[in-house]
Amino acid sequence: MPLRSSLDEVVLRERLEAAVRRLNPSLPASVLDEAVKTVLRIGSTDLLADNKLFHELLTQGVTVSVYENGEERGKKVWLVDFDDPWNNDFVVVNQFTVVENGHNLRPDVVLFVNGLPLVVMELKNATDEEATITAAYNQIETYKAQIPSLFVYNELIVISDGLEARAGSLSAGLSRYSAWKSEDGETVASHLLGELEVLLRGMLNKETLLDLVRSFTVFEKDKHEDKATGQLTITTVKKVAAYHQYYAVNKAVESTLRATGINSTMPKAAESPENFGFKTVKEQLTGDHRAAN
């Protein structure tokens, strides 16, 4: 299967179409085609707003209106199988060239899930004296400004200078990027292991990545007051849980499920608890996303 037909395409359309057919076998082709078109037509001058819309379609399903027996009904089309991460198509592309508005740029690594570029990585060479975390971050900012279409579909950004490795959201400043310090949530990784290796194993394995996307990512309003003028500015920010928040919430959910005798394989609902600004652990026990939507 060819990756794409043009360098200005950031979604691997044929892989997306194949995944949508596989994950939604009971729906007619016309509904699936419309769902794919809905995803591909996202685009405005507000990158974060576009990203929020995509995140909602990804995690809640794409609703396509159809007429049945003279009535309009909504059919839900899923882009990703969150309940079975292994039932998805993962592809990693090195030096993924994107041409947009006269710019020709190549992010180091892009991770696609069902044809959707969910993770972008900028990896600097440790032997280069100018290869710093800051340089990697600045390169990502250049990508966002010059090839923004790639980031419409972004869920995580990873930067590394060859020694340190950090992950953050689309709206995160450099100070908000953080290391992923455990592979399993039980112990902090040895300092002998490279930070990028720990992040790849602990954060970007199939289960954890999709869990982070579905249950540990939110868009919130952030207020900032200018102390000099007193002017209040409200902006939208995208937040992804840090490693300690992620593991702590999942442990709390599992403990609660065991204590109440609920099947521990029940999919977790949308968000995490108090100190991350998410819903309470109790609300995570409401059941399957697909049933709720």
- Summarised one tens digit per residue, pLDDT across range 155-184 is 999 999 988 999 999 999 999 999 999 988
Residues 83 and 185 in one domain: yes
Residues 259 and 281 in one domain: yes
Residues 241 and 205 in one domain: no
What radius of gyration do the chain's Cα atoms show? Answer: 20
d(C-alpha 268, C-alpha 168), whole Å: 22
Residues 257 and 175 in one domain: no
- Judging by beta carbons within 10 Å of its beta carbon (0-12, 13-18, 19+), is residue 53 exposed, middle or buried? middle
> Domain tally for the chain?
2
Residues 167 and 29 in one domain: yes
Helix 243-260 and helix 206-215, axial crossing angle in degrees, nearest 10? 90
pLDDT band at 230 (very low <50, low <70, confident <90, very high): confident
Question: What integer best gives the mean pLDDT of the chain?
Answer: 86
In a domain, 153, yes or no: yes
Taking 80 as the threshold, does the pLDDT of residue 280 lie above it?
A: no
> CATH code at 199?
3.90.1570
Residues 90 and 169 in one domain: yes
- Summarised one tens digit per residue, pLDDT across range 80-129 is 999 999 999 999 999 999 999 999 999 999 999 999 999 999 998 877 87
Residue 277: its pLDDT value, please?
41
Residues 132 and 264 in one domain: no
Taking 60 as the threshold, does the pLDDT of residue 278 lie above it?
A: no
Following CA atoms 194, 198, 199, 205 in sequence, which dihedral angle do they give, to the nearest 10 degrees?
Answer: 140
Query: In the chain, which ranges are continuous DSSP H helix?
Result: 13-23, 29-40, 47-60, 133-146, 195-202, 206-215, 243-260, 289-292
- Summarised one tens digit per residue, pLDDT across range 53-83 is 999 999 999 999 888 777 888 899 999 999 9
| CA angle (30 as vertex; 28, 35 as ends), nearest 5 | 100
Residues 280 and 259 in one domain: yes
Residues 44 and 165 in one domain: yes
Structure tokens at 57: 């379609």
- The pTM of the whole model exceeds 0.95: no
pLDDT band at 47 (very low <50, low <70, confident <90, very high): very high
Residues 31 and 136 in one domain: yes
From 149, 182, 212, the end of a domain falls on: 212
From 155, 184, 212, the end of a domain falls on: 212
Residues 45 and 155 in one domain: yes
- The domain in which residue 221 lies consists of 215-292
pLDDT band at 152 (very low <50, low <70, confident <90, very high): very high
d(C-alpha 162, C-alpha 191), whole Å: 14
In a domain, 275, yes or no: yes
Taking 90 as the threshold, does the pLDDT of residue 52 lie above it?
A: yes
In a domain, 3, yes or no: no
Residue 263: its pLDDT value, please?
61
Give the largest Cα separation in the chain, rounded: 68
- Summarised one tens digit per residue, pLDDT across range 235-273 is 899 999 999 999 988 888 888 878 877 665 544 443 333
Cβ contact 73:40 at 8 Å: no
Residue 288: its pLDDT value, please?
39
In a domain, 5, yes or no: no
d(C-alpha 139, C-alpha 109), whole Å: 13
Percentage above 90 pLDDT, the chain: 63
Residues 158 and 249 in one domain: no
pLDDT band at 290 (very low <50, low <70, confident <90, very high): very low
From 192, 212, 232, the end of a domain falls on: 212
In a domain, 39, yes or no: yes
